[in-house]
Amino acid sequence: MSTTQRNAVTISGSESHRPMLFAHGYGCDQNMWRLVTPAFQDTHRIVLFDHVGNGRSDLSAYRDSRHGTLGGYSEDVLEIIHENDLRDVIFVGHSVSAMIGVLAAVREPDRFAGIVMVGPSPRYIDDETDGYVGGFQHTDIEQMLESLDSNYLGWSSAMAPVIMGNPDRPELGEELTNSFCMTDPEIAKKFARVTFLSDNRADLPRLRVPSLVLQCSDDVIAPTVVGEYVHKNTPESTFMALNATGHCPNLSAPEETVDAIKSWL
C-alpha cells in the first residue's frame, strides 16, 4: 500500500522548493493546517497527510503491532518521506505529532532541516520521582481514558472546547468537536492511550537538528512549564511564547503561528 493511499498524502508546490511536512494532532486531520499552509505555498513544497484512523486515511492500514507506540507513527512519517524522496524537510508537528517528528528526526536526522513543535509534550503525566510536571496526575489520565472508552462522542463534545480554549469563539471548539467525531472511534481510543501514556523525555536530548518550540498561553494540554522543559532539554532549540491561548493556534491564531515559524526559518 502506498503512503498516498494509507495516509492520504497531498503534495503541492514546486519540487525545487524545500519541503514542509505538516502533521496534525490527536483527533484531527490535515485540514487543520488550511489557515497556515497558504503562507508557505510560494516558498516551500507543502506536504500534508492524515495519521491512520484520521481524515481520509485507510483504516485497514491500522496495525496494533505498529501503531501501539508513537514510534510506529514515526515510521509512517519516514515512509512518506522516502516514498516521495523528500530531503531537507522542515517538519511541523502539532501536539502529539511534535514527538512523532522528534522520533523520526532522531532516527534519520539527515532527512530533516528542522522541527517545529506546536504545543509539544514529551510526557503528560507528572513524575514525582524527578519533579517533572506534565500537567496531569496519573489518575486524571486514567479517568479521561475510561470516559473516552465508555462514550467517545460524549467525551469529544465535552473535551474539544476545553482543549481548544478560546471560549469567546465557540465555533473553534465546535470545529474540533466535529473533527474528533469524524475520527474512527476504535482507533481514536487506542491512539489516546498511546498519546497520553507516552514518555519521550529521553528522546529530546537525542535530537540533532534545529527546532522551534511554540508555546501557547492557557494551554490545558501542554502548559508553559512543559514547553519550557522541552526547550531546556532539546539541543539547538528556540522557544517562542505566543499570545494565542488554548492548544490549537493553527486554528485560533494562524497569523501569529505563521509569523513565528517564518521568523525562525
User: In the prediction, which pLDDT does 254 show?
Assistant: 97
Residue 167's pLDDT is 86
Nearest residue to 23 via CA among 147, 106, 115, 132: 115
**Residues of the chain scoring pLDDT < 50:** none
Is 24 an active-site residue? no
Catalytic residue among 29, 76, 203, 219: 219
198 is catalytic: no
From the list 44, 156, 247, 252, the catalytic residue is: 247
Of 95, 97, 121, 252, the active-site residue reads 95
* CATH class of residue range 3-123+199-264: alpha beta
147 catalytic? Reply is no
User: How far apart, in whole angstroms, are the C-alpha atoms of residue 102 and residue 114?
Assistant: 10
**pLDDT tens for each residue of 114-126:** 999 999 999 999 9
Domains of the chain by residue range: 3-123+199-264
The pTM assigned to this predicted structure is 0.96
Instruction: Give, in degrees to the nearest 5, the angle at Cα 243 between 238 and 249.
Output: 80
CA–CA dist 265, 178 (Å, integer): 33
